[in-house]
């Protein structure tokens, strides 16, 4: 699955907002590997689903969604790289044990 946006706080009422968009391999690492013709690893999908959000250093949350959880944080890094380029929201937090926990940022 990778990850999917379920709430767009940037353009919540616009018809072309990002709600429902699924993302896989948006990281700069994957684009570089593609350009160089290197083999590309799939993002992990064996873990359970976990809620995430992307925010900037001022605390503004751009996007919220659901992703495949993985202990190496590959999905979290992928989402963080996307957020940094898209809106400057490079901090990826996940919902663990009843609170938001920063895993990448």
Q: What tokens were used for 94?
A: 């996940």
| Residue range(s) defining the domain that contains residue 57 | 3-10+18-104
pLDDT digits 0-9 by tens, 85-97? 889 999 999 999 9
End-to-end, the C-alpha distance of the chain in Å comes to 22
Residue 44 pLDDT > 70: no
pTM of the model: 0.80
Average pLDDT score over the chain: 83
CA–CA distance, 80 with 96 (Å, rounded to integer): 17
CA–CA distance, 49 with 24 (Å, rounded to integer): 15
CA–CA distance, 5 with 89 (Å, rounded to integer): 14
How many distinct structural domains can be found in the chain?
A: 1
Whether residue 67 contacts residue 79, with contact meaning beta carbons closer than 8 Å, is answered with yes
Question: Percent of the chain having pLDDT more than 90?
Answer: 38
């Amino acid at each position: 699955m990778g990850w999917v946006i379920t709430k767009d706080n940037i353009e919540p009422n616009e018809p072309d907002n990002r709600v429902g968009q699924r993302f896989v391999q948006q990281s700069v690492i994957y684009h570089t590997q593609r350009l160089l013709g290197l083999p590309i690893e799939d993002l992990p999908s064996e873990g359970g689903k976990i809620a995430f959000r992307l925010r900037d250093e001022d605390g503004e949350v751009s996007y919220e969604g659901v992703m495949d959880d993985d202990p190496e944080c590959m999905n979290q890094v992928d989402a963080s790289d996307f957020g940094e380029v898209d809106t400057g929201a490079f901090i990826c937090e996940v919902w663990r044990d009843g609170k938001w926990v920063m895993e990448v940022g």
